[in-house]
Chains A and B, each alone.
Chain A
C-alpha cells in the first residue's frame, strides 16, 4: 500500500509539474487567443462577455493582408538574395585558403555580439542618403545584414560537413572547381541549405527593429503592423495579428524540431 501511495504521489507531482509548464508556456499566448475573439470585455469579468469572430472578419479585410503580402514578398527576396550570396561564399570559406579568412569570419561574427539598434539607426541615415529610406529595397538590404551574417556561418558549417574526398575524386577526373561545386558539393548540401533558408525566411518575416527604423512609415510589415495596433490599444486587431505572426514559426518548429541545434539558431536569440 505504501509503495502504491508513493507511486501515486509521484504521478500527481508529475502531472502538477506538466500543468505548471503548460501554464508558463501557454499562459501568455492564451491571452492572445482570448483577446482575438473578445467582442465585448469589460472589467471585472474574468472572461469576455461576448465572444465571436467579428474582429477576425474585420482584420482579414483590412490593411493587414497588404502587410502580410508585403512581408512575404520581402522575405522571399531576402532569402533568395541571401542564398545566392552565401552559398558560394560558404563553400569558398569551407574549402579554400581564402586570403584574410579569419578576418572575414570575424567580420561575420561581430554583428551578432553587438546591439543592433544604434547601428541600424545610423544605417538608416545612410540609406536615406541613397534614397532607399522607407522603400522596399532599403528594408530588404537591412534584413540582409542580419541574414548574411547568419547564413555565412551556417553555409560554411554545411559545406565543412560534406566529406572532401568525393570532390577530390571529381577534380582528379579533370573537373574544374566550379563544376565540382555545382555537381558534387551543391546537391549534397541541399538539406542544409533548405533548413537554413527556412530560418532566414522566418527571420525576415519576424524582423522588427530594422523594419521600424528603415521602413517607417511606408513599408509596414506584419510585426510593425502589430506594434502599431498594440500601441493604439486596438487589442483585438493586435492579438489576431500576433496569432497570424506565430503560424510560420510554429510550422517551422514542428518541421525542424529534430534538427534544432543551438549554434544554428543564434539569430533567434536576438532582437
Chain B
C-alpha cells in the first residue's frame, strides 16, 4: 500500500520536474557551455571577445534603461502608495492594477502608437501649443520610449508590492507620526519607507531583473539604429546570423547581470 502511494505521487512529480529540467535547466547549461564553443565545437573565448567588442555599449545601455525605469517606478510608486496607505482611494488603486493584465506586446504596440512622432501624445501636447508638429520630438524608438513603456508596465507590480509592504506597517506608528504633526509625505518618507525598506529592496531587485530581461517591449518600440537592449541583440544574433556562440555569450552576460538579483531574491524568499 505504502509503495503504491509513493508511486502515485511519483507519477505526477516526474513530468513536472522533467519538463522544467529538460526545457529550462538543460538549455540554460547548454547556453553557458555553448558560449565557450566555436562553430566547429572547439573551446574558445572568441565569443566573449566579440561580445566585448560589439555589445559593451548595449549592455551599459540596457543597465541604464533598467536603472532609469526603476527610478521612475520607485519615485511614483512610493509617493502614490504613501498616499494610498494614508488616505486610501480604491478607484486609484484599481486603476493602477490595470497594466498588470495588459500583455507586454500590447503595451509595446500601444506605446509605439502613443509616443510616435505623430502619435496621440504629441498631437495632444501640440493642441496646447507646447510643441510644433512640423518638427515633433519622438519618444518612441528611443531609450526614453522604452523606459516609459517599461515603467508603465511595471508600475502595477510596484504598487502591489509597495502597498503590500506599507499596509503591513501598523497603524499606531502612523498615528504617532500624525500626533507630531506629520503630513502624508512625512509619514511616507519617515515612517513607511524605512519600515518597509527590505520588502522594497526585494521588489526593486525583481523589477530591475525583469527590465534587464525585457524583450517584447524594446522589440516593438526600440530604435532600429544605435544601441539596443541585450535581449534584442541575442534575438537578432540568432535569427539573422544564426550565431548561437555569440548569442549565448551575451546570454551568459545577462545571466550574470541577473544573478546578483537572483541570489538576493533566493535568500530573502527562502528565509521566509
Listed in ascending order, the chain A residues whose CB lies under 8 Å from chain B are: 18, 21-22, 24-25, 27-32, 34-35, 43-44, 46, 84-89, 92, 96, 102, 104-111, 113-123, 125-127, 141-142, 144-145, 148-149, 152, 176-178, 202, 206, 208-209, 223, 226-227, 230-231, 235, 238-239, 242, 245-246, 249-250, 252-253, 257, 260-262, 265-266, 268-271
Contact = CB atoms under 8 A, between A and B. Distances in A.
27 contacts: A21-B92, A22-B95, A24-B152, A35-B113, A84-B12, A85-B16, A92-B12, A96-B9, A106-B266, A114-B28, A118-B252, A118-B254, A119-B27, A126-B30, A144-B19, A223-B103, A223-B105, A230-B108, A230-B220, A242-B105, A242-B109, A253-B101, A261-B160, A262-B157, A265-B157, A266-B206, A271-B213
A118 B101 contact: no
B106 interface: yes
Contacts of B206: 266, 269
B27 A123 contact: yes
Contact of A145 (B24, B34, B154): B24
Contacts of A121: 27, 31, 234-235, 238, 244, 247, 251
Contacts of A107: 17, 20-21, 25
Contacts of B161: 262
A117 B94 CA distance: 31
Given A85-B16, A87-B12, A89-B9, 10 more contacts: A21-B95, A25-B95, A32-B113, A122-B30, A126-B22, A178-B5, A178-B8, A226-B109, A262-B203, A268-B101
Interface size class on chain B is: 35 or more
Interface in B84-124: 91-92, 94-114, 118-121, 123-124
Contacts of B262: 110, 113-114
A27 to B, nearest CB: 6
B238 A34 contact: no
Contact of A25 (B17, B99, B120): B99
Given A31-B113, A89-B13, A253-B98, A115 B216 contact: no
A206 B101 CA distance: 9
Contacts of A104: 17
B216 A269 contact: no
Contacts of B219: 227
Interface string B40-78: 000000000000000000000000000000000000000
B174 interface: no
Nearest to B107: A28
Nearest to A43: B118
Contacts, number: 257
Given A46-B124, A126-B26, A230-B220, A176 B106 contact: no
Most buried by A among B105, B118, B261, B262: B105
Nearest to B113: A31
Given A46-B124, A117-B231, A208-B103, A269 B157 contact: yes
Top 9 closest A-B pairs, CB basis?
A: A118-B251, A249-B101, A115-B213, A113-B262, A122-B27, A206-B103, A88-B12, A123-B27, A85-B16
Most buried by A among B5, B22, B215: B215
B187 to A, nearest CB: 18
B255 A141 contact: no
